[in-house]
Amino acid sequence: MSDIATYDAIIVGGGPSGSTCAYNLVKAGLKTLLLDRANFPRVKLCAGWISPPIWDVLELLPEEYTRGLWKWNKVHINFRGKKYTIHSDGYFVRRYEFDDFLLKRSKAETVEGYNVRHLEKDNEGFWLIDNKYRAKYLIGAGGTHCPVARALFPEKDNVQCGTQEREFEGNAEEIASTRAGKDGEPEILLHDDMKGYSWNVPKGNWLNVGTGTKIARDVLPAWNKARAFFEGNGTPGTIPVSSRPMLDKMKGHGYIIFETSYLKYCYANNVFLIGDSLGLAQPMTGEGILPSVISGKLCAAAIAEGVPEKYKERLRTHPVIYDYRLLYGIQTRAKKFFDEKKDKHYRKSWLRDRIIVKVFAILFSGKPIPGSRIFAAFKK
């Protein structure tokens, strides 16, 4: 054992959930090690959209974030042939910068470029990694394919959602010409079947374009339609000809969005899952950074207070995760209803479409479901 480094906690994964957990553990005085297979800063496929509540969770003011930050107050949504501009709030970052910032801010001992291969418990009840590192607590924060989740928790058998996206730097004037509004204001193409959406987000000299669908196999045809839209809509927001070759080099990945049943697998035997390793992305919009940092902070608090078993209940009842539970229930019931009606002709309704777009804008800004807090209070 003398050759094995011992810690209070080891975190596998240095994204927002892992770095937030590490930050709070270090602040509490726990000896913490963070392992990640990548070397930071690293490219992370993500639009970089963060919700305003994140700053309170991170205990950080927006002006204290020293990398690129784009605040927006309007979202431009295209849905079933109409365009809606709705007042909403949010921020965009470049994940290349954001994740690196949070990791460095954590002050945790970090080993980058490290692949975790083997996990086991030693004869003292500590978790042992590759016979090199050991700790009482082990935290899986390695995303959808987290080695901790794969080795120690049941495999999730649901279908992953899929994305195709690209972020690239271009000429400032050309990037400006792609804007549907001001710099940083997102243009959204909400898919007619409401099973995904596509986006065009200008960020200064950078442009992030992509498509996300609830079922991974649907993403390529959805992206082809979105590309045609963003290249040929002939309005502000049209991607210029000179930038279009960049869209030939899209990259894809899949991840798991929230289901209520996942929460029961967030903790066992001093092992925790946080962020995308658990599957916490918002069930309707797929936004995963806010729930990731929430879970990281709650996990660290439970460990620091010596009550690791309370992580599960604290996560389940957190206002944001409570909202996700409600959304998941609504989504499940709505899917059943629309499946029953799928053979009937679609009847146009401007009011229904307007409500759908408005609700999407509310969720896109990270705001709670209207009335959910009242509902929760009565439930208590």
10-residue mean pLDDT profile of the chain (380 residues): values are 88 98 98 98 93 96 97 96 94 98 98 97 96 98 96 86 94 90 96 94 95 94 95 71 88 92 96 97 93 98 98 97 92 58 60 92 83 50
Strand ranges for 141-300 from DSSP E: 161-169, 187-190, 196-203, 206-213, 251-255, 267-268, 271-273
The DSSP code for 17 is: H
Q: What is the pLDDT of residue 166?
A: 95
Q: How far apart are CA 380 and CA 376, in angstroms?
A: 6
Model pTM above 0.85:
yes
Give the residue among 78, 111, 324, 70 at the shortest CA–CA distance from 198: 78
CATH topology of domain 5-72+92-157+257-323: FAD/NAD(P)-binding domain (3.50.50)
Q: What is the pLDDT of residue 347?
A: 62
Q: What is the pLDDT of residue 346?
A: 52
Q: What is the pLDDT of residue 342?
A: 52
Give the residue among 134, 199, 131, 133 at the shortest CA–CA distance from 163: 199
User: Which two three-digit tokens encode residue 144?
Assistant: 């959808």
319 Cα distance to chain centroid: 17
φ/ψ (deg, to 5) at 290: -60, -55
The DSSP code for 257 is: B
Residue indicated by tokens 């099973």 = 195
Element spanning 72, H or E: strand 69-79
Q: How far apart are CA 182 and CA 377, in angstroms?
A: 39
Q: In what order do the strands lie in the sheet with 49-50?
A: 49-50, 82-93, 69-79, 187-190, 196-203, 206-213, 161-169, 251-255
The DSSP code for 15 is: S
Residue indicated by tokens 């409500």 = 355
180 three-state secondary structure: coil
Instruction: Write out 244-311 in H/E/C secondary structure.
Output: HHHHHHCEEEEECECCHHHHHHCEECCEEECHHHCCCECCCCCCCHHHHHHHHHHHHHHHHCCCHHHH
79 Cα distance to chain centroid: 23
Q: How far apart are CA 357 and CA 354, in angstroms?
A: 5
Q: What is the pLDDT of residue 350?
A: 84
CB atoms within 10 A of CB 185: 23
Q: What is the pLDDT of residue 335?
A: 56
The DSSP code for 38 is: S
φ/ψ (deg, to 5) at 230: -70, -25
